[in-house]
Amino acid sequence: MNKILMFDALREATDEEMLRDPRVFVIGEDVGHYGGSYKVTKGLHAKYGDLRVLDTPIAENSFTGMAIGAAMTGLKPIVEGMNMSFLLLAFNQISNNAGMLRYTSGGNFKIPLVIRGPGGVGRQLGAEHSQRLEAYFQAIPGLKIVACSTPYNAKGLLKAAIRDENPVVFFEHVLLYNLQDNIPNYDYVLPLDKAEVVREGIDVTIITYSRMRHHVLQAADTLVQEGYDPEIIDLISLKPLDMETICKSVKKTHLVVIVEECMKTAGIGAELIAQINETVFDELDAPICRLSSQDVPTPYNGSLEQATVIHPHQIINAVKSIITTKV
């Protein structure tokens, strides 16, 4: 085992896959000489050169479109969005090209493309750098969407995403890059379509992903000390949702709390509620509780920024409330 930071885990995954497969290359703003805004590509340019670690102009629509074209020819591009918010400028390429071409070509083209980068509410990065785009991309047919939450799953999931023959949008949280974890020294990959049962329990199912996994775990420490037994599920795969794992848990606990950093209106939680109600509604003993970010642009002011997202004490209160109001 080797204890490393998340950005090192992502860099190791990229490096190992570039070494393993000469078709893999990285493209984006400042990914080369500078080593990436969060150092995920540090040292790769010196090792692989200009043709496999490509610095681009500030033109997300252009270099994303170029990467999709490269994927059509059999290469395996990794597009780094310096901030995932910037990839809204490439929304047309991602939706009308990356998501559709395998289908509209009758299967003649595969799109082995990874689009990765930081997102989420940081520390006073302002509204335009604090967006959570997972719900934007969730509505696009043809995409797989993954949100890593630990160095261990970050490395295994990124390697799997690079090897996949379909476009994968890979979300990293800006505040998790310095998270440390022990990861194996051997090669490993993790499934892109499976949730992780982080903690087994019988009282309530708490469903979360990305940075909120750690807020939920903080809340769970307090809840366990007070005699509660929550089950915690990290979605990891935001599209497709692993409803098999989710439904199995709901059938055991009969109560659900969803904790997300996504906005409440039309967010990941909204889709989760719809699918749970469609699939296992009769198993629920109370309405699903959803804890989401406020439907406002993220304020720059630190105190206001904190007020827009969910914190452990809110999770604790929600769990106690849903258990005591169980019908």
What is the tens place of the pLDDT at every residue in 92-120? 999 999 999 999 999 999 999 999 999 99
**pTM attached to this predicted model:** 0.96
Return the SS3 of 197. Answer: strand
For residue 135 the two structure tokens come to 């719900």
Task: Indicate the pLDDT class of residue 176, thresholds 50, 70 and 90.
Answer: very high
What sign does the dihedral 208-213-216-221 (CA atoms) show?
Answer: positive
Tell me the per-residue pLDDT of 224-279, one tens digit each, with 9 for 90 and over. Answer: 999 999 999 999 999 999 999 999 999 999 999 999 999 999 999 999 999 999 99
Q: In what order do the strands lie in the sheet with 289-293?
A: 196-199, 230-234, 204-208, 256-263, 289-293
What sign does the dihedral 185-237-17-35 (CA atoms) show?
Answer: negative
What lies within 8 Å, CB to CB, of 79 at 6+ separation is 27, 28, 63, 64, 67, 113, 114, 115, 116
DSSP bridge partners of 145: 169, 239
Question: What is the per-residue pLDDT for 325?
Answer: 79
Residues of the chain with CATH 3.40.50.920: 196-324
Question: What is the per-residue pLDDT for 23?
Answer: 98
Return the SS3 of 168. Answer: strand
Task: Indicate the pLDDT class of residue 2, thresholds 50, 70 and 90.
Answer: confident
Residues of the chain with CATH 3.40.50.970: 2-183
Strands (E), the chain: 2-5, 24-28, 53-55, 76-80, 114-119, 144-147, 168-173, 180-183, 196-199, 204-208, 230-234, 237-239, 256-263, 289-293
Tell me the per-residue pLDDT of 34-63, one tens digit each, with 9 for 90 and over. Answer: 999 999 999 999 999 999 999 999 999 999
DSSP bridge partners of 114: 78, 168
Question: What is the per-residue pLDDT for 1?
Answer: 81
Residue 84 has pLDDT above 60, yes or no: yes
Return the SS3 of 56. Answer: coil
Residues 83 and 92: their CA atoms lie apart, in Å, by 17
Question: What is the per-residue pLDDT for 203?
Answer: 97
Is domain 2-183 given the CATH code 3.40.1190.20 in the classification?
A: no
Question: What is the per-residue pLDDT for 177?
Answer: 96
Percent share of the chain, pLDDT over 90:
94
What positions carry a catalytic annotation? 60, 129
Question: What is the per-residue pLDDT for 123?
Answer: 86
> Rounded to 5 degrees, what are φ and ψ at 273?
-60, -45
For residue 72 the two structure tokens come to 């059509």
Residues 40 and 54: their CA atoms lie apart, in Å, by 14
* Contact of 207 with 152, CB cutoff 8 Å: no
Is cis: bond before 184, omega within 30 of 0?
no
The topology (CATH level 3) of 196-324 is: Rossmann fold (3.40.50)
Residues 188 and 173: their CA atoms lie apart, in Å, by 22
Task: Indicate the pLDDT class of residue 175, thresholds 50, 70 and 90.
Answer: very high
The identity of residue 98, as a single letter, is A
Residue 327 has pLDDT above 80, yes or no: no
